[in-house]
Amino acid sequence: GGGPVNGLALARAYWERAGLPAFEARLPEALERAAVGLAGEGSECFGFDDDLSRDHDWGPGFCIWLTEPDHARLGAAVQELYHSLPPAFEGWPPRRQTPGGAGRVGCLCIPRWYARYTGCPHGPETLEQWRRAPEAFLAAAVNGAVFQDPLGVFSAVRERLLAFYPEDVRRKKLAARLAVMAQAGQYNYPRCLRRGEPVAAQQALAAFTDAAMSAVYLMNRRYAPFYKWRHRGLRGMERLPDAYERFEALVAAPDGPERAEVVEAICWDTAEELRRQGLSSGTDAFLLPHAEKVRDGIRDPVLRKSHVMEE
């Protein structure tokens, strides 16, 4: 292939220069109804792909999303046309698909696609549905880009998901993250080290890191992606813009008091941001009281009464 290119730019070029002309010539009626783009699983959908990503499930490809009636009527013809497009494109080799990567590109049914990522054909609507949809799946449902959507059906769900969790659910999840940060990072990590339990200390640190990163995303009203992209995704966050460097410092610090200091710094930054957002007025350096304050601000009585560590 040419110089460095990301998968999203490749997908757009493949659509504009190979897909679109073929549909205009052979299946114009689908063109008037199909949403086209690239979203879902895969580093390229987040713009995180690099040379290493190209060994599997990467290459020329795009998604064509159809409504359920359109999929029943036109799906087979659309998929057939998609398969007839040249697999190699402008010097880029064909997409190498693994069994786990099947169904990421090509013709897709809108309600089935959203059900796969959110558990609901039109995206979550009730508080319970929102709570049950895994964060990383929501992140995958709204990443990438939509190149065209004449009917607007696909984009309507996408826009609703991008508007983020209902505030009660955001608070519920944030309270749970803060409680884990306090328990695993501020309390158990130093205790495990004092007890001479290095394995337990590493597990506490990992639990803290995961919860703390998720809290940054929640405070930025963005869904946290799959764990291996969580740190990468912290770059350029509007709120807590130093988080990316903070977590690098956490990993670089040696086990013991120096690392515990970075844990405290992350917790302090988090508490300050909670105050800025009016989520907690507490001045405590320990995050558990903040977790309780965030939970107490939940409007829904059932959610408000639930245990602080329950998502």
Tell me: pLDDT of 56 over 50. Answer: no
Q: What percent of the chain has pLDDT over 90?
A: 83
Beta-bridged to residue 92, according to DSSP, are 89
Residue 149: exposed, middle, or buried by beta-carbon count in 10 A (0-12, 13-18, 19+)?
A: middle
Q: pLDDT grade, residue 297 (50/70/90)?
A: very high
Whether the model clears a pTM of 0.85, i.e. scores above it, the answer is yes
Q: How far apart are CA 119 and CA 113, in angstroms?
A: 10
Q: pLDDT grade, residue 190 (50/70/90)?
A: very high
For residue 145, the model assigns a pLDDT of 95
For residue 1, the model assigns a pLDDT of 40
pLDDT digits (tens, 9 = 90+) for 192-227: 999 999 999 999 999 999 999 999 999 999 999 999
For residue 102, CA distances in Å to 9, 36, 85, 114 come to 21, 18, 17, 16
Q: For residues 233 and 243, is the Cβ–Cβ distance under 8 A?
A: no
Q: How far apart are CA 243 and CA 232, in angstroms?
A: 11
Tell me: pLDDT of 58 over 70. Answer: no
Q: pLDDT grade, residue 3 (50/70/90)?
A: very low
In the chain, where are the structural domains located? 7-162, 167-305
For residue 7, the model assigns a pLDDT of 83
Tell me: pLDDT of 94 over 60. Answer: yes
Residue with the larger pLDDT of the pair 31 and 95: 31
For residue 144, the model assigns a pLDDT of 94
